[in-house]
A and B are shown apart, each in its own frame.
Chain A
Amino acid sequence: MPIQNGKDKLLGGGFGRVPNVSGAMTSWFQAMTFIQVVKTVVNFKVVESKTEINFMGVWQPASAQSIAMKPEGQRAWKWFTVHAEPTVELGPDEVITYQGTQYRVKSKMDYTEYGYVQYELIEDFTGSGP
């Protein structure tokens, strides 16, 4: 039987898909609530509406490495990382409030195939949003 080296195997090649790591993530997840702030135009005026999103996830400060990669002017911002279930659908520039403070989504890393999504958020001091 020929020896199979790991380097010759495609990621998840034997199964037709990438490994789902959500099982490993779940033990770290806790119940979280975001309030998504959506702004729409009604009769030429901007109206805010709030939608509650309940999900399982982890909230943590952004790693020093990821902050070091930001442009110089952005490193002073308060950056946070959220790992969440793929059911949480937010996009860049969208605004949420979490525990009374407003945050803005800066990027989304969509690892839905692996069983989770990752967001980078900053604290939104100005209160301005999409």
Chain B
Amino acid sequence: MILDASTLAIGNALTSSFLASGGTGPYSYSVAPDGVGGAINSSTGVYTAPSTGTGVDTVIATDSIGDTATAEILVGSSLELFCDIIRTEMGLESDQVFLWDQKFTIPNDSRVYVAVSILSCKVFGTKLTLDNQSVSMKAILGVDIMSRNFDAVTRKEEVVMALSSHYSESQQELNSFYIASQPSAFTNLSQEDGAAIPYRFNLTIAIQYSVSKVKAAPYYDTFDTVEVTTED
């Protein structure tokens, strides 16, 4: 039994369609507890990500004789989805791509690591509706490709290919973010004095994305409770 999805990485409040096959129909779909908290239509298999929070949900498909298949879906911000594109297209393990954290240095092994960091970002638009607020952002991201062996030298171009891949384009379209420019040059940081990592290349990439949150407007609810007094 196989469980396919339109995408396995998605932004908040967006949907992904799951489809089971290879078992005995009809299929029913559910989300395992202790995940990020998405919901799924048990008959159609349309998964809806929670409006806030990042993490992983496990979707379970069950066929009519009780066989099951599972798939994990990542719910994340545009930055996490950006990391997911690089990880998926380069075929890396989940710990090889990370959002840069000053508390983290790459382990003493010979794998290639990719760190994504925000160099600068600015707001270029805000929007407020009755129950939704969003901010449009433009960010300059730094992508570091690092390794203790020669991999960073030979695989650095794969990052550019990942960001211009079909998967990247479909993820950008699904999740409303946009990789605004392709990098024109790698900065070679391998020769830096005191570098802890022998091979290191840096790319600068601009992306546009939006962050939104759903929140009911309490002001308008007060109309329901207005008291009308009449004289006898």
A binds B: yes
Binding site for B on A (CB under 8 A): 39-46, 48, 91, 93, 127-130
Any A CB within 8 A of the CB of B26: no
A44 touches B80 (CB 8 A): yes
Any A CB within 8 A of the CB of B46: no
Complex Cα spacing A76 to B104, Å:
24
Any A CB within 8 A of the CB of B97: yes
8 Å CB contacts to A: which residues of B26-63?
A: 54-56
Any A CB within 8 A of the CB of B225: no
Which chain A residue has the least Cβ–Cβ distance from B86? A44
Could you pull out 20 A-B pairs where Cβ atoms are within 8 angstroms?
A39-B103, A41-B94, A41-B97, A41-B104, A43-B55, A43-B74, A43-B94, A44-B79, A44-B83, A44-B87, A44-B98, A44-B99, A45-B80, A45-B99, A45-B101, A46-B103, A48-B103, A128-B103, A129-B103, A129-B104
B76 touches A46 (CB 8 A): no
Candidates A43, A48, A127, A128; contact of B56 at CB < 8 Å? A43
Complex Cα spacing A91 to B56, Å:
31
Q: A93 — which chain B residues lie within 8 A by C-beta?
A: 105, 108
Complex Cα spacing A48 to B102, Å:
13
B98 touches A41 (CB 8 A): yes
Q: B105 — which chain A residues lie within 8 A by C-beta?
A: 93, 130
A44 touches B84 (CB 8 A): yes
Which chain A residue has the least Cβ–Cβ distance from B55? A43
Q: B83 — which chain A residues lie within 8 A by C-beta?
A: 44
Complex Cα spacing A33 to B96, Å:
31
Complex Cα spacing A45 to B94, Å:
10
**B67-83 interface bits toward A, Cβ cutoff 8 Å, 1 = contact, 0 = none:** 00000001010011001
Q: A46 — which chain B residues lie within 8 A by C-beta?
A: 98-99, 101, 103-104
CB distance from A91 to the nearest CB of B (A): 8
A39 touches B104 (CB 8 A): yes
Any A CB within 8 A of the CB of B183: no
B84 touches A128 (CB 8 A): no
The list of the 9 closest CB pairs from A to B, nearest first, reads A46-B101, A41-B95, A44-B83, A41-B98, A46-B104, A128-B103, A44-B80, A44-B99, A44-B98
